[in-house]
Amino acid sequence: MEDKDIMEKELLMIKGVCDLYLHGSIESTTAEVHTAFKDALNTSLDIQNKIYNLMAEKGWYKTENAEQQKINQLEQKFANQ
């Protein structure tokens, strides 16, 4: 397995972990549990960001800029609702 494949799997895994921690913090019934999930979420988000930055640096995570016209269309659509 190549490094790129490993990093992609790690990124997907940490995104899933972030989702679980987010829902855990939202559904928490006590302040202590909420804080524990929130702290775990913040740590996981930091890890996700590091993985993303490394992948982007190596050219393994490509993004596209949105066209300004499409942004303007969406702004108008939601402004009218």
Could you read off the pLDDT of 4-28 as tens digits, one per residue? Answer: 999 999 999 999 999 999 999 999 9
3-state secondary structure of 38: helix
Count of other CB atoms within 10 angstroms of residue 50: 11
Least confident piece of the model among 4-13, 28-37, 70-79? 70-79
- Contact predicate 8/60, CB 8 Å: yes
